[in-house]
Amino acid sequence: MGRWRTELDNAFNSREFLTWAKAQGLDTKSLKLDPLLSELTGTVDGKTKTFSLSDDSGLADVSRVLLSIARAIAPGPASAFSYPWSEGKVPLYVVGRFYGMPIDLSPAQAADHRKKLQKGEPPEFPPLRYGEQRSVAALAEQGKALGDDANHHALLAALRSQVNDAEGKIDLNTVMLPLGMLRST
């Protein structure tokens, strides 16, 4: 879960996402992401606003990897979660859903669970329904995809800066691209 959280942090803190959020006037201090509906809700000019892949906000251009990571963390129905999280922490309801463990235990169930833990008995986890989606290989692929997205957006920005060069005066061999998020696999 911790490595997936790191990838989620990287996606939310990517230059592309933060540039998009700033252009929208989105306060990134209190967001709600729904991976199933592919929606991001936050505050814009003091009002709650929901962005989706089908609106004209550009969320679709910057959220492919973000949503893919979020779907690995919180797949299935009722998967929306708030973000950002406290440094080094993940909300209990997200951890419970990630591992398929109920968190809404009755007092008797909680007492029984506590007794088992005190005896040193490991918790019984149900079989993971999303194991392949959360594998080490899938995690590595998400990291690569995040770097690829950064490179893609850097290239687009560099090309957009050349739009007014109809006469070909700019030597493209000397144009430098900001590839600050390159990752190796």
Q: Would residue 174 count as lying in a domain? A: no
Predicted confidence (pLDDT) per residue in 85-112, tens digit: 998 889 988 888 887 777 888 889 888 8
Q: Would residue 171 count as lying in a domain? A: no
For the whole model, what pTM was predicted? 0.67
Q: Would residue 115 count as lying in a domain? A: no
Q: For residue 53, which amino acid is it?
A: L
- How far is 75 from 38, CA to CA, in rounded Å? 12
Q: Would residue 141 count as lying in a domain? A: yes
Residue 24 clears pLDDT 70, i.e. is over it: yes
**pLDDT confidence tier of residue 183, bands split at 50, 70 and 90:** very low
What is the pLDDT at residue 125? 66
**Mean pLDDT on 147-153:** 70
Sign of CA dihedral 91, 96, 97, 103: negative
Q: Would residue 177 count as lying in a domain? A: no
Residue 36 clears pLDDT 90, i.e. is over it: yes
Q: Would residue 10 count as lying in a domain? A: yes
Q: Would residue 172 count as lying in a domain? A: no
- How far is 41 from 33, CA to CA, in rounded Å? 6
- How far is 117 from 176, CA to CA, in rounded Å? 57
Residue 33 clears pLDDT 60, i.e. is over it: yes
Residue 185 clears pLDDT 60, i.e. is over it: no
Residue numbers of the domain that contains 36: 2-104+125-165
**Mean pLDDT on 45-51:** 97
Residue 1 clears pLDDT 50, i.e. is over it: yes
Q: Would residue 118 count as lying in a domain? A: no
Domain count, the chain: 1
**Mean pLDDT on 57-71:** 92
Residue 179 clears pLDDT 60, i.e. is over it: no
Mean pLDDT of the chain: 82
